[in-house]
C-alpha cells in the first residue's frame, strides 16, 4: 500500500514560516526610476556560474532561481513543500520509494520536452555521473539508489534508507532544479542556462550583469512573469548599491551595510525590510591542522557577545547554536565554549601557537553584512591579546570559494543560509565529504580522536535523517549541536537579519527565508 501525498496534505510541522516583503500597494515614489518593463536587482558579487547543480552561492541563485524549477517548490511564506514540475507523488509505506506524477506539456527553454526521461537524466547526473564540483549532489540525492521511468510522465525514485528531509530537499534552489538534458550534454550550462522557469537567459557580462527575458511559453499561464526584462547587476561596493537605489538606477538591493540602515529608513521613496534570518555566520577551524585543545583555546579567546553587539548594531543576534531559534532541533540547553582569555592564553602558550594563516572574503554576505574582512580583523584583535598573530589573506567571493576548497588555511570565515527549514540542512555541513561544503575539513581529520569523532558524528547525521519529524528527532539534533560545540568544530558567531530594500514603486517583491528570491510576480508602478 502507498500513501498519496498532495500539497494540501503536506502542511508539515517542519515547515518554517518566513517572508520578507518590500513594496506595498499604497506608496508612491517621486524619484527617478528605470523603465516599467525592466527590473534591476543589485547584489554584491558576480555569480560563480549558472548551472544550479554545480553552483552553491546566493549570487548565482538570484539568477538560476528565475530560470530553473524543480519537481517541488516552497510556499511563498514558508518552507512548506508544494508541487511544481511534479503534480503529485506517492510514498511507499517503508519510506523508500517515491513515485512522482509529472506535469505534462512543459518544455525547456531550448524547446525540448520535460518528461520522465529528463528527470532520470537529472537524477543520474547527480548520482551515477556526478562530478566533484557538484557540491549539493549528496545533499539532495545522496540517499538515492536508483531512478526508474514508469511511463512518459511518471518517475520512481528509490532510496537506500528512509530520509525525512528528502521532499524538502527536492524544492531547494541548488542541486534539485531540472536542467535541459540536451543543453547539459551539448552546451555550457555554467554560462548558458536552460531550464523551464518563467524567465529565459539572454546574456551574462562578467562582473557587470546578467540579463533575462520573460518566457512567453511558460507552462504556468496564471503565473507568467509580470515584468518583461530582469537585470541582475553586480555592484561590489555596498555604498554604491545604496546610492544607485536612491537615484533609481536599481530597483532592489540586498546585502545592506548595517551602518546605512537608518539612512535608508528615512528615505520616503524606499521601502526597507528586515526579518529574522534562517542563517548562521561562523568561523571554521581547519581540523586537518588544528587539534581539539588548540581549537577550544582559540574559541575561549573570542568574546562573541561583545563582537556581535559591536559589529552588527542590533541587526544580528549572537548564535548560541548552529541552528536559528525557529528551526526544529534548536535547543537553548546547548552550551558553547565560554570566553576565558586567561585560559586561552595559557593553553596557546603551552602548545606554542603563535601564528595562524587566516583567509576571508571582502564582500557582504546574507549572513554577514559587516563583510568577512571586517569580521576577520575583529577576530584578529582578540587573538592578538592572547599572543597569536593572524596573517590574513582576503579574496573576492568567487576566488574565496576556490581558496576554501584548496584548504590552505588554519581558520576561514563562512556562513550558511538554510535551504529548506530542516535541521539536517545545517548540521549535515560538518558531515559532508565535499570540501566546498565542509570548510572545517572535519572529514579529513588526521588526529586519531578527531577521526573517530567525525565517524561518530556522521552516524548521528544518518540516524537522524531516518527519524520521523517530532520530539525524538529534534533531540537528536540538539545532541549533535552539543557534540560539535564540545569539539570546537566551528565557532558560531551570529544569525543575521535578512535586510532588503526596494524603490517604493516596486510591488510584490518578497525575500524568502531560504535567502532566495523569485521575481515573476514583481511589478512596477
- The per-residue pLDDT for range 340-387, each reduced to its tens digit, is 999 999 999 999 999 999 999 998 888 998 889 999 999 999 999 999
- Is residue 216 located within the same domain as residue 294? no
Rg of the chain over Cα atoms, rounded to whole angstroms, equals 23
Q: Is residue 249 part of a domain?
A: no
Task: Please indicate, yes or no, if residue 267 is contained in any of the structural domains.
Answer: no
> Residue 438: helix, strand or coil by DSSP?
coil
Residue 383's closest CA among 441, 339, 337, 439? Answer: 339
DSSP label at 441? -
Handedness of CA 215, 220, 224, 229 (dihedral sign): negative
Asked whether residue 469 falls in the same domain as residue 509, the answer is no
Task: Assign residue 509 the CATH number of its domain.
Answer: 3.40.190.10
> What's the distance, CA 155 to chain centroid?
28
Q: Based on the domain organization, do 318 and 186 belong to the same domain?
A: no
Q: Is residue 469 part of a domain?
A: yes
Report d(CA 106, CA 115) in Å as an integer.
8
271 belongs to a structural domain? no
In a domain, 273, yes or no: no
Q: Can you give the pLDDT at residue 15? A: 80
Please answer whether residues 199 and 520 qualify as being in contact, where contact means their C-beta atoms are separated by less than 8 angstroms: yes
Distance CA 280, CA 489 (A): 14
**What's the confidence (pLDDT) of residue 14?**
60
The answer to whether residues 55 and 184 belong to one domain is yes
91 and 210 part of one domain: yes
> pLDDT by residue (tens digit) across 391-443?
999 999 989 999 999 999 999 999 999 999 999 999 999 999 999 999 999 99
Regarding whether 506 and 451 lie in a shared domain, the answer is no
Residue 264 lies in a domain: no
Q: Show the domain range for 358.
A: 279-496
pLDDT (0 to 100) of residue 16: 86
Task: Tell whether 289 and 201 lie within a shared domain.
Answer: no
In a domain, 246, yes or no: no
According to DSSP H, which parts of 222-338 are helical?
238-247, 261-265, 292-300, 304-312
Residue 24 shares a structural domain with residue 43: yes
The pTM score is 0.89
- Examine residue 256 and state whether it is found in any structural domain, yes or no: no
Q: Reduced to 3 states, what is the DSSP secondary structure of residue 263?
A: helix
The CATH number of whichever domain residue 377 belongs to comes to: 3.10.105.10
How many independent structural domains does the chain possess? 2
CA atoms of 117 and 356, how far apart (whole Å): 51
Give CA–CA dist 235/43, Å, rounded.
Answer: 6
H or E element, residue 377: helix 372-384
State whether 421 and 517 are in the same domain.
no
> How many angstroms separate the CA atoms of 413 and 130, rounded?
27
- The residue count of the chain comes to 525
pLDDT tens-place values along the chain, 525 residues long? 445 444 333 334 368 877 677 754 333 333 334 589 999 999 999 999 999 999 999 999 999 999 999 999 999 989 999 999 999 999 999 999 999 999 999 999 999 999 999 999 999 999 999 999 999 999 999 999 999 999 999 999 999 999 999 999 999 999 999 999 999 999 999 999 999 999 999 999 999 999 999 999 999 999 999 999 999 999 998 899 999 999 999 999 998 888 888 889 999 999 999 999 999 999 999 999 999 999 999 999 999 999 999 999 999 999 999 999 999 999 999 999 999 999 999 999 999 999 999 999 998 888 998 889 999 999 999 999 999 999 999 999 989 999 999 999 999 999 999 999 999 999 999 999 999 999 999 999 999 999 999 999 999 999 999 999 999 999 999 999 999 999 999 999 999 999 999 999 999 999 999 999 999 999 999
Residues 451 and 485 occupy one common structural domain = yes
- Whether 445 and 321 map to the same domain: the answer is yes
DSSP per-residue codes, 447-465 = SHHHHHHHHHHHHHHHHHH
Whether the CA torsion 124, 219, 9, 136 is positive or negative: it is positive
* Cβ burial, residue 87 (10 Å; 0-12/13-18/19+): middle
Domain co-membership, 225 together with 296? no
Amino acid at each position: 500500500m502507498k500513501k498519496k501525498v498532495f500539497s494540501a496534505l503536506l502542511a508539515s510541522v517542519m515547515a518554517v514560516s518566513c517572508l520578507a516583503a518590500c513594496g506595498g500597494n499604497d506608496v508612491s515614489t517621486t524619484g527617478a526610476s528605470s523603465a516599467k518593463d525592466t527590473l534591476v536587482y543589485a547584489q554584491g558579487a558576480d555569480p560563480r556560474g549558472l548551472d544550479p547543480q554545480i553552483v552553491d552561492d546566493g549570487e548565482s541563485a538570484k539568477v538560476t532561481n528565475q530560470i530553473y524549477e524543480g519537481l517541488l517548490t516552497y510556499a511563498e511564506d514558508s518552507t512548506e513543500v508544494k508541487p511544481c514540475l511534479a503534480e503529485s507523488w506517492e510514498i511507499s509505506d517503508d519510506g523508500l520509494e517515491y513515485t512522482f506524477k509529472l506535469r505534462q506539456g512543459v518544455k525547456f527553454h531550448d524547446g525540448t520536452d520535460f518528461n520522465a526521461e529528463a528527470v532520470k537524466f537529472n537524477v543520474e547526473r547527480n548520482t551515477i555521473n556526478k562530478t566533484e564540483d557538484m557540491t549539493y549532489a549528496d545533499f539532495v540525492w545522496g540517499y538515492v539508489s536508483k531512478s526508474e521511468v514508469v511511463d512518459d510522465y511518471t518517475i520512481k525514485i528509490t532510496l537506500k534508507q528512509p530520509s525525512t528531509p528528502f521532499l524538502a530537499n527536492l524544492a531547494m534552489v541548488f542541486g534539485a532544479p531540472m536542467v535541459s538534458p540536451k543543453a547539459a550534454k551539448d552546451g555550457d550550462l555554467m554560462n548558458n542556462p536552460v531550464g523551464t522557469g518563467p524567465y529565459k537567459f539572454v546574456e551574462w557580462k562578467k562582473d557587470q550583469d546578467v540579463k533575462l527575458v520573460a518566457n512567453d511559453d511558460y507552462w504556468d499561464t496564471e503565473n507568467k512573469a509580470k515584468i518583461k526584462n530582469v537585470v541582475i547587476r553586480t555592484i561590489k561596493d555596498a555604498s554604491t548599491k545604496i546610492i544607485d537605489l536612491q537615484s533609481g538606477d536599481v530597483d532592489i538591493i540586498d546585502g545592506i551595510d548595517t551602518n546605512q540602515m537608518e539612512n535608508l529608513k528615512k528615505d520616503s521613496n524606499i521601502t526597507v525590510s528586515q526579518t529574522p534570518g534562517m542563517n548562521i555566520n561562523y568561523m571554521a577551524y581547519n581540523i586537518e591542522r588544528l587539534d581539539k585543545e588548540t581549537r577550544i583555546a582559540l574559541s575561549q579567546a573570542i568574546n562573541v557577545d561583545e563582537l556581535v553587539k559591536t559589529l552588527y548594531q542590533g541587526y544580528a543576534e549572537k548564535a548560541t547554536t548552529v541552528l536559528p531559534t525557529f528551526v526544529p532541533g534548536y535547543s537553548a540547553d546547548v552550551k558553547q565554549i565560554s570566553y576565558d582569555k586567561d585560559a586561552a592564553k595559557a593553553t596557546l602558550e603551552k602548545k606554542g601557537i603563535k601564528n595562524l594563516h587566516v583567509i576571508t572574503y571582502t564582500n557582504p554576505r546574507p549572513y554577514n553584512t559587516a563583510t568577512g574582512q571586517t569580521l576577520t580583523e575583529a577576530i584578529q584583535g582578540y587573538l592578538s591579546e592572547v599572543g597569536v598573530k593572524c596573517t590574513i589573506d582576503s579574496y573576492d567571493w568567487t576566488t574565496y570559494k576556490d581558496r576554501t576548497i584548496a584548504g590552505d588555511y588554519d581558520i576561514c570565515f563562512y556562513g550558511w543560509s538554510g535551504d529548506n527549514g530542516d535541521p539536517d540542512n545545517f548540521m549535515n555541513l560538518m558531515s559532508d565529504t565535499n570540501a566546498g561544503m565542509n570548510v572545517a575539513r572535519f572529514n579529513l581529520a588526521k588526529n586519531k580522536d578527531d577521526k573517530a569523532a567525525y565517524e561518530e558524528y556522521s552516524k548521528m547525521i544518518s540516524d537522524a535523517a531516518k527519524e520521523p519529524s517530532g520530539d525524538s528527532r529534534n533531540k537528536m539534533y540538539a545532541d549533535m549541536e552539543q557534540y560539535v560545540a564540545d569539539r570546537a568544530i566551528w565557532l558560531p558567531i551570529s544569525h543575521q537579519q535578512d535586510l532588503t530594500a526596494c524603490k517604493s514603486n516596486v510591488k510584490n517583491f518578497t525575500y524568502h527565508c531560504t535567502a532566495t528570491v523569485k521575481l515573476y510576480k514583481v511589478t512596477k508602478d
